[in-house]
Amino acid sequence: MASLKPVPKLREFDLAAEPLRGLNRYLHQDAVADGISEIRIRNPDGAHSIAVGLNAPLDVHVHGHVGYYVAGMNCHANVTVHGNAGPGAAENMMSGRVHVKGFASTAAGASAHGGLLVIDGDASLRCGISLKGADIVVGGSVGSFSAFMAQAGRLVICGDAEDALGDSLYEAVIYVRGRVRSLGADARFEPMTDTDRAAVRGLLAAAGRDEDAGAFKRVASARSLYHWHADANQEY
């Protein structure tokens, strides 16, 4: 017996005419109750906190540029920004997928625990700072201090990295294709294994990209900061 496939129901929001708080309340409550699966948002015009705290498998498309914290704390939802994102995009994401088609400002994916953040353009400084398990794929380059103190998860950089990449890394792993201006304290290049190449291939595919996984270098923690050394003379 053929199953009846539900027709996706669409709802549009125009932030030039409707308040942001109403949109977020709708995404948190009514969208799920109404069985709406796709939401399109027009005229975001740089507003903060669009689609934060989602907790349902919604498909959200934001058409324009957004301000701080878009899709912060995301759980289950698939949020696409057809534009640029301000600071803290997908910060503290738990699961789901956030895709920024333009560039992302500082601290994209900060503290994210799970899910996938894709940035097609460049990411500014501190991308993936304190990453706690999410995956991030950046199509362009990242600014200084990216993956600073990242604890778990993976950061794939298709372009270049500025200064202090992976400073004070824990167990997160960075794959970078381009030039690295400098590594941070305790970060080091390590040989790529087949497992690494397969991981990069999988992440690039998930991000809809076709770079050659063989062209990436692995950066991980040397773990020399894990334990106190009395003779290190504080020269880290």
Partner 1 sequence: MCGIVGLLVKKPALRERLGALMVPMLTGMTERGPDSAGLAVYTQPVSAHQHKISLYSGEHAADWPALLEHAAREFSGEHAIAAHGNQAVLTTAADADRVVSWLKHAAPTVAVLSVGQSIDLYKDVGAPADIARRYDFAALKGTHLVGHTRMATESAVTPAHAHPFTAGRDFCLVHNGSLSNPHLVRKRLEPLGIRFETDNDTEAACRFFEWRLREGDDLREAVTRGFAELDGFFTFLMGTGSEMLIVRDAFACKPAVVAESDDYVAIASEFRSLAHLPDISHATLFEPKPEEIYSWQV
Stretch in the footprint of partner 1 (CB under 8 A) among 79-87, 89-97, 179-187, 211-219: 79-87
**Count of CB atoms within 10 A of residue 208's CB?**
11
Taking a C-beta distance cutoff of 8 angstroms, is the pair 37, 54 a contact? no
**Count of CB atoms within 10 A of residue 53's CB?**
16
Q: Closest CB to partner 1 among 143 and 184?
A: 143
* DSSP structural state of residue 192: P
Stretch in the footprint of partner 1 (CB under 8 A) among 42-50, 151-159, 186-194, 206-214: 42-50
Q: Closest CB to partner 1 among 92 and 106?
A: 106
Site for partner 1 in 49-68 (CB under 8 A): 64-65, 67-68
Taking a C-beta distance cutoff of 8 angstroms, is the pair 50, 41 a contact? yes
Stretch in the footprint of partner 1 (CB under 8 A) among 40-48, 72-80, 110-118, 192-200: 40-48
User: Taking CB under 8 A as the rule, does residue 14 contact partner 1?
Assistant: no
Among 26, 69, 103, 216, binds partner 1 (CB under 8 A): 103
Rounded-to-5 percentages of helix, strand, coil across the chain: 15, 25, 60
Q: Residue 39 in 3-state DSSP?
A: strand
Least Å from the CB of residue 45 to partner 1: 4
**Count of CB atoms within 10 A of residue 165's CB?**
27
Q: Closest CB to partner 1 among 102 and 114?
A: 102
How many residues of this chain bind partner 1 (CB under 8 A)? Answer: 19
Stretch in the footprint of partner 1 (CB under 8 A) among 22-30, 103-111, 187-195, 208-216: 103-111
Give the angle 162-166-170 at the CA atoms, nearest 5°. Answer: 175
Site for partner 1 in 112-171 (CB under 8 A): 124-125, 143-145
3-class SS string, 4-30: CCCCCCEEEEECCCCCHHHHHHHHHHH
Among 106, 111, 130, 221, binds partner 1 (CB under 8 A): 106
What pairing do the DSSP bridges indicate for beta strands 217-221 and 187-190?
Answer: antiparallel
Q: Closest CB to partner 1 among 86 and 133?
A: 86
One-letter identity of residue 201: R
Q: Closest CB to partner 1 among 14 and 34?
A: 14
One-letter identity of residue 12: E
Contact residues for partner 1, defined by CB under 8 A: 45-47, 64-65, 67-68, 84, 86-87, 102-103, 105-106, 124-125, 143-145
